Structure 1
């Protein structure tokens, strides 16, 4: 519980905690050059088995890759798609053409609509 609270505070303060799985970094852009960095929302995979990343936001779409439990991913946006356990929200992964069900990914920051 304390670790989760500390992580939430660090992310809220804009601290980059390092690489986030295979998706990349939490911030992008040349922040050191004086330009504004874009901070992407971070999500955590909350499953016991690998999570399928789909081509489109539906369970009937093809699988493009799998994410391991507790993996941290960058989220680009969210939209309604096929229902998964009563949840119609899907997240598009940043840097990937894949979608994951919000039922199995906990977003640590708000995610903009697509």
Structure 2
């Protein structure tokens, strides 16, 4: 996968990072150093709007998570439309199993 520049929304100012786009509209990136907290999980699945959708311990899990939720919606839509269309429970259920299938977790 090619690396692209992705801008995430932050409370103080937006931050641009390197990311991959495993699914149109969804980006996987590592939380930038200036935003990392010692006890926080640092890989993210983000929407093209800059909003975060989920976290993962490993980059591979974040990519797999994005692929697992690909069919739940057209992620290229604006965030406001997705908030109306995506069932939060279905999203949670799909992502809850993403890391459990990682060979390192068997």
TM-score (norm 2): 0.23
Larger fraction in helix: 2
Higher RCO (CA 8 Å, separation ≥ 6 residues): 1
Larger fraction in strand: 1
Q: Point out the structure with max Rg over C-alpha.
A: 1
